[in-house]
Structure 1
């Protein structure tokens, strides 16, 4: 059976747009990092203007952009040719390829940057970066209470499903290919209205946890300009927390159309396009926040005077430039070294406990969807 209301080519084209977005963020990453870091290596802040290091960044960005362009072109060609299964394969393989090549090139240029740092004699008197962690949330981060707005959206979604239950057919379409053919059905049961609510709830929990990690993160500041950089970091954290709440509510609102497909008011294709548009909007929002603020607020005060002296260095705690391991640091979360956002201190047992808990919750969610629906 085929659903009406969805142009497969449009859906495929929207899907293909994910690749250039991933490629852009990966190619731009070296330019979004904090002033005292180049390819996950600590350098003097004035070194951002060093011609050799600028050349490394340009070559990295050009290669990642070239790979992204080739993969995007191939994916769009498959979409226009109607090879829909190929688009999905290219989307998954292409995204991992961009990320893998990007991080591989980062390791290559990280080694060059470390060698250049040694050649230039950039050595810090202190082996730790200036940052603090305490029991108080970052003042600029919006309250976690804003995540309670998921509840009325979930309640509305459930109400639509319950009130429209009598109009639902005996067989409910749950999954559809990009050609409009329904590939999975479920028997009509009283649990059906709860399925989209379960998905919204899981999504909301994940984003609320991300919001919480921002509040509990180590608050970074630059050694040479602690007050100004701390303000920039606060602005960055505020923007990221606001983005999470707004973007999450946008996705949850798009998911609220799922019960309407069960009733037959709109097609699955129309609902899918709405969810895809919301997801793309969230991706574009992430890029916008990253470009405007930079990692940890690095782009807020671009014209701050740099220093030729390396004031602090914690390179030894960053394994491969992306994994932070420091038993002497009590913080669980801190800003990433290569990327925009936050990472974890893998030396803390609590981080591993949170990882196990997250995997358990995810597994429970998947099992619930498969068993109950």
Structure 2
């Protein structure tokens, strides 16, 4: 029985499952399953039932898949590559299930949209003209710290490359003994640095997107 992979699976994938199941409740009131709607339509009974249905189906399928993965890890061979293949297969299956559910509910939402209620009460649109003057994102200069760390990592590895052993441990069994090695190479040694670069670029893009986000306009009842 292998316990460590199970613990890792729980800490890594359970929060992901919770986010995917609750996604319809976390989006803006003007977006439902990728379709633009009004706030009145978002709070309508048909969409409330659709979100509840999505959460139940998604939670059921992801829970079944997760339990099957845990059982395979528990009763699988801990001294082979089987664990890695189980986790990779589970990750792919989780993505496929999520895509299928979301695509099906997207088309269901588009077919339901003409039958949803339309707000009849008069409303006003409040637009904040100072929206762009707010600090809605970080300055990209903050990412220079990450660039500096990456440069230091590259220089450190290059200066100490000869001191790195020819065989590098890459996997430990449940007893914390090394059971798999990899040959030293520049591509393998710099793998961590490549991940650093990728994550920094990703965060920079996300910050750029936030700084250019459109203002969320919320209609209000003038009688309030």
Q: Same fold (TM over 0.5)?
A: yes
> Relative to 1, partners in 2 of residues 1:68 and 1:195: Cα closer, same or farther, differing over 3 Å?
closer
Partner residue, 2:60: 66
Partner residue, 1:20: 14
Query: How far, CA to CA, are the matches of 1:137 and 1:183 in structure 2?
Result: 54
Query: How far, CA to CA, are the matches of 1:90 and 1:194 in structure 2?
Result: 26
Give how far 1:123 is off.
Answer: 9.1
Query: How far, CA to CA, are the matches of 2:77 and 2:86 in structure 1?
Result: 11
Query: How far, CA to CA, are the matches of 2:77 and 2:193 in structure 1?
Result: 33
Give how far 1:29 is off.
Answer: 0.9
Query: How far, CA to CA, are the matches of 1:146 and 1:29 in structure 2?
Result: 30
Query: How far, CA to CA, are the matches of 2:98 and 2:193 in structure 1?
Result: 36
> Relative to 1, partners in 2 of residues 1:65 and 1:194: Cα closer, same or farther, differing over 3 Å?
closer
Alignment pair present for 1:103 and 2:96: no
Residue deviations 1:87-112 (CA, integer Å, cap 9, x gap): 43343333333333333233333344
Alignment pair present for 1:212 and 2:186: no
> Relative to 1, partners in 2 of residues 1:41 and 1:212: Cα closer, same or farther, differing over 3 Å?
closer
Check the 8 A contact 2:30/2:36 in 1, yes or no.
yes
Give how far 1:116 is off.
Answer: 3.4
Check the 8 A contact 2:35/2:109 in 1, yes or no.
yes
Query: How far, CA to CA, are the matches of 1:163 and 1:107 in structure 2?
Result: 50
Partner residue, 1:151: 147
Check the 8 A contact 1:26/1:98 in 2, yes or no.
no
RMSD between superposed Cα atoms in Å: 3.6
Three-state SS of the structure 1 residue aligned to 2:22 is helix
Check the 8 A contact 1:12/1:79 in 2, yes or no.
yes
Query: How far, CA to CA, are the matches of 1:56 and 1:15 in structure 2?
Result: 29
Unmatched tracts of structure 2, length 5 or more: 121-125
Which of 179, 182, 192 in structure 1 is aligned with 2:180? 182
Check the 8 A contact 2:41/2:118 in 1, yes or no.
no
Unmatched tracts of structure 1, length 5 or more: 1-7, 125-129, 226-304, 306-373
Check the 8 A contact 1:147/1:204 in 2, yes or no.
yes
**1:1-373 paired onto structure 2 within 5 Å:** 9-15=3-9, 17-84=11-78, 85-120=81-116, 122=118, 139-158=135-154, 160-161=156-157, 164-165=160-161, 167-169=163-165, 171-173=166-168, 176-179=170-173, 180-186=178-184, 196-215=192-211, 217-224=212-219
> Relative to 1, partners in 2 of residues 1:167 and 1:101: Cα closer, same or farther, differing over 3 Å?
closer
Query: How far, CA to CA, are the matches of 1:192 and 1:74 in structure 2?
Result: 32
Three-state SS of the structure 1 residue aligned to 2:20 is helix
> Relative to 1, partners in 2 of residues 1:196 and 1:57: Cα closer, same or farther, differing over 3 Å?
closer
Q: Bigger relative contact order, structure 1 or 2, given CA contacts below 8 A and separation 6+?
A: 1
Larger-Rg structure = 2
Give how far 1:221 is off.
Answer: 1.5
Check the 8 A contact 1:157/1:196 in 2, yes or no.
no
Give how far 1:59 is off.
Answer: 1.2
Give how far 1:71 is off.
Answer: 1.7
